[in-house]
Structure 1
Amino acid sequence: MTYAIIVDPLSTGQEYGPAFREAGATPIAVLSGLQPPDSYLPTWFPENYEAVHYFDGDVSALAEQLRGYLVDGFVIPGAESGVELADQLIDRLTPGAGNVSPLNTARRDKRAMSAALGAAGVPRLRQISSDDPAVIDAWLADNGLVGRRLVIKPPKGGGGDEVHIIAEDDDWRTRFAEILGNTNKLGVHNDEVLVQEYAEGTEYLVDSYSVDGRHALVDVCRYTKIRRGDQIGIYRRIDFLEPDHPEVLAIWPYTQQVLDAVGIRVGCGHAEVMLTPDGPRLIEVAARPAGGGHQMVSDLATGDNHIKRTVAHRLRGEFRESFDLVQRLRGIFVSAHRAGILRNGEVLQKAEALASFHWMRVMKENGALVPETVDLFTCLAWVILIHQDLAVLDEDYDRVLELEAEIQIDPV
């Protein structure tokens, strides 16, 4: 019997359990805590797993609990919160079978990530992570960044949570004080704050799957994000690109350098890359499947995704070099312009009449209290458009934005 041990099968990683079971393997869940972080709780389905094990702080004891599954089994992370624990378990249970062990932290912590790129000679954005404002002040002065636009965020955040832009005439210390010491939406305590130079350009999502250090493309999307005040991690739309698109050809070689630099040799890679006037620059990279519903849209656009690649590799030894764009897909993130009581969510149902409409999910019902959209976790709705004619996609996209503007939210 083959056991698939998934550490934090949450977010889109919750799809691993059913996928492995359907393919003939027995899924085992490991939670990195006694319960999932609140933002992941709606995606926790313990009934999908033969057994559930919990991490209480003793990695060695947990490894011993799992050792019996490893006769013909493997360990993989399901979500960002499980990446570090998965690495630690692999190092104890199947040494050498995972990613590069000395670089474990570089695949989770943005400060170590940047250091790994620097050590490998890969171009990167300048940044510093510290709990001391004086240290950051000195670093800004040394790097000629005083009075320049900056980005400030947690070193171990995700989904755009607590990501802020600091304008030239603003004081970064205000946001620094708000982030330091908080527990972010991934359940991680912000023991430091990361300050980064601001990068102009277009942002891309680059999904990969690696086997023995060989990297393959799973999908590539162009991101569009919007700002609200100094919040910059607000997703607006994603557009899937062809594997031979000029923008893909410009960023894929760089992304492979990033994967090598942070030691990703086996499994999923999920990178966010900015194409700047100076060339590609990494925003962040993760060693787990893309979250936020991305497995569904990747499958629609390409007929494949991280979950399918993992099952194909782990159970059948398959490796696919690239992907095909089988449908032109645009995903739209509908925002709540303020916090309050949702009154007319049904207005979004008008999108179902659009020529390119494929699917929609509204996160809240009328009468519910909704948060202002400031990151991926607080989007009000998600609309999927599919059509081979870009002009139709553009027209329907504009119509969805018009519907978003009709949404009524009463202040509390």
Structure 2
Amino acid sequence: MTLRFGIVDGYSTGRFLVGQLRDSGAECVHVASQSDMPAYFSSSHDPSNYIADLGHDADPRRTADRLRELGVSAVLPGTESGVLLADRLGDLLGTPGNDPALSEARRSKPLMAETALAAGVRAPLGLRVDSPAQARAWCVERGVTEAVVKPVDSAGSDNVHFCGSPDEVAEATAVVLAGHNLYGARNVTALVQERVFGPEFYANTVSVDGEHKIAEMWRYTKRLGPGMSPVYDYEEPVPVGADEYRQVSAHVRGALTALGIRNGAAHTEVILTAEGPVLIETGARLGGATTPWLVEKFCGVSQTRLLTTALVDPSAFRGFDDSRVAWSEHVRNVSFINPVAGVARSDDWRTWLGSLPSCAEVVSGVAVGQTVPVTVGLTVSPGFAYLVSDRAADVERDYALLRAHEEQGLYLN
């Protein structure tokens, strides 16, 4: 019997999951969580990858009935926007999923932190606010000077602000409340949190019946962009044997359990402070901005591949030993940073970048004639590239060349 899976918002890395499931002999049915998904996500959707595309229906029960008729055995989110509906549909169908009572805690960052703290998993103190005055008052009452302000339910560093005073917190809160999140919803409230300091990591995991396995762990390097917003610089894998890996992995597993994640993928971000790891947030879905085949080539597995395995061959998942993951080369995933807005006049930069000795993959949606904005976050980055070599010095050299050419208008000229 052919396995069938429902995919809610099969965008971003979700499209790779669908491809791998198809190659494994399974079939997928697509569901949209909303009728007006922004083009940043929906442009990656290919209906031909699915045996059926149900689109969006405001009544989850009708969608669940359709999925039941089609013989779907599990429902998964393809990206962050699909988390709540995937939970709801799985609950209606009675298929394996995550604790429905904690569904909101897996989507709302304030509730996520509260839930983690209640379970003994360290997370930043914070407050959900609906006005700049409320945000400022919280900082003054708590004596918080270094704070982070962001939407309560977005992703990818969208509208994230680092602030150094209660007045800056109030200003940043006003900016967030005046905007919309990545999925087009208006920011009715904002999250203000104490800022914690230390190196930042993320773990891409897959869980089956509460057993959590880490497919990949990476260390972020970020820089401050315009308006004190964090801009992704690059990320590199963390060796399994490193002390950082041990500390972060234990915290991640505790967070997954606290948030009721029992089945499927999760992307968890952690800062390792001097006092120990602190949960920043967990997305109950695949990590984004990745090329699974390349990750697999150099460490033998990717989160997408491990999730595919968990779905089509659970026994193979149980046999996977995440303590034996090892990288064969020095790998760096570099986010592109455009310093000055302008119009892309040529595609020659791709050829130049691809000619660098360590460049293994270039991913970009920039087209000739398109306006390229200043990079203030992940969603307005021109793309990313993987630099790979058996010599760390080669990766560092090509990284420095890329950054130098960016300062000269690489994506515009």
- Counting only pairs closer than 5 Å after superposition, residues 4-23 of structure 1 correspond to structure 2 as 4-23=5-24
Number of aligned residue pairs: give it. 407
Of 325, 346, 349, which aligns to 2:348? Answer: 346
CA–CA distance in 1 between the matches of 2:5 and 2:349? 43
Per the alignment, in what secondary structure is the counterpart of residue 123 of structure 2? coil
Cα deviation code 1:112-168 (max 9, x no counterpart) = 1011111101111111112134443443233221xx121111001111111111123
Query: What is the alpha-carbon distance in structure 2 between the residues aligned to residue 52 and residue 278 of structure 1?
Result: 48
Identify the residue that residue 261 of structure 2 maps to in structure 1.
Answer: 264
Unaligned 5+ segments in structure 2 are none
1:226 & 1:394 partners in 2: Cα distance?
17
Q: Which deviations, in whole Å up to 9, do the C-alpha atoms of 1:315-354 show, x marking residues without a partner? A: 1112223133233211111211122223465345333343
Q: Secondary structure at the match of 1:19?
A: helix
Counterpart-to-counterpart distance in 1, 2:40 and 2:349: 26
Distance (whole Å) between structure 1 residues aligned to residue 214 and residue 326 of structure 2: 10
Give the equivalent residue in structure 1 for 2:3.
2
Is contact 1:239–1:331 with CA below 8 Å preserved after alignment?
yes
Deviations, residues 160-206 of structure 1 (Å, cap 9, x unaligned): 11111112374322221221153212233312101111121111111
TM-score, normalised on structure 1? 0.93
Matched, 1:69 2:66: no
Instruction: Tell me, in whole angstroms, the C-alpha distance in 2 between the residues paired with 1:381 and 1:11.
Output: 13
Counterpart residue type for residue 398 of structure 1:
A
The yes-or-no answer on 1:285 pairing with 2:282 is yes
Q: CA RMSD in A?
A: 2.1
Secondary structure of the residue aligned to 1:121 is coil
1:139 is aligned to 138
CA distance in 2 between counterparts of 1:362 and 1:285 reads: 26
- Return the letter of the residue paired with 1:89: L
Query: What SS class does the counterpart of residue 112 from structure 1 fall into?
Result: helix
CA distance in 1, matches of 2:352, 2:19: 33
CA distance in 1, matches of 2:166, 2:374: 25
1:54 aligns with 2:48: no
Q: Which moved more, 1:342-351 or 1:360-369?
A: 342-351
Of 203, 211, 216 in structure 2, the residue corresponding to residue 214 of structure 1 is 211
Query: What is the match of residue 171 of structure 1?
Result: 168
Amino acid at match of 1:325: W
d(CA) in 2 for partners of 1:211, 1:409: 43
Q: Is the 8 A contact 2:135 2:170 kept in 1?
A: no
Q: What is the percent sequence identity of the aligned residues?
A: 30
Structure 1 range deviating more: 117-126 or 390-399: 390-399
Name the counterpart of 1:86: 86
For residues 299 and 188 of structure 1, the distance between their equivalents in structure 2, rounded to whole angstroms, comes to 35
Question: Is 1:227 equivalent to 2:228 in the alignment?
Answer: no
2:190 corresponds to 1:193: yes
CA contact (8 A) 2:220 2:235 kept: yes
Gaps of 5+ in 1: none
Name which of 381, 392, 398 aligns with 1:390: 392
Q: Residue 57 of structure 1: SS of its match in structure 2?
A: coil
Which is worse superposed, 39-48 or 175-184? Answer: 175-184
Matches of 2:377 and 2:297 in 1, distance apart? 24
Once the 2 structures are TM-superposed, how far is the Cα of residue 367 of structure 1 from its aligned partner? Answer: 3.5
- C-alpha distance 101-356 of structure 1, shift in aligned 2 (>3 A): same
CA–CA separation in structure 1 for the residues paired with 2:148 and 2:302: 31
- SS of the equivalent of 1:43 reads coil
Aligned equivalents of 1:408 and 1:19: distance in 2? 34
TM-score of the pair, normalised by structure 2: 0.93
Match of 2:304 in 1: 307
* Cα distance in structure 2, aligned partners of 1:226 and 1:345: 27
The alignment partner of 1:205 has SS state of strand
Report the alpha carbon displacement of residue 231 of structure 1 after superposing the two structures with TM: 3.8
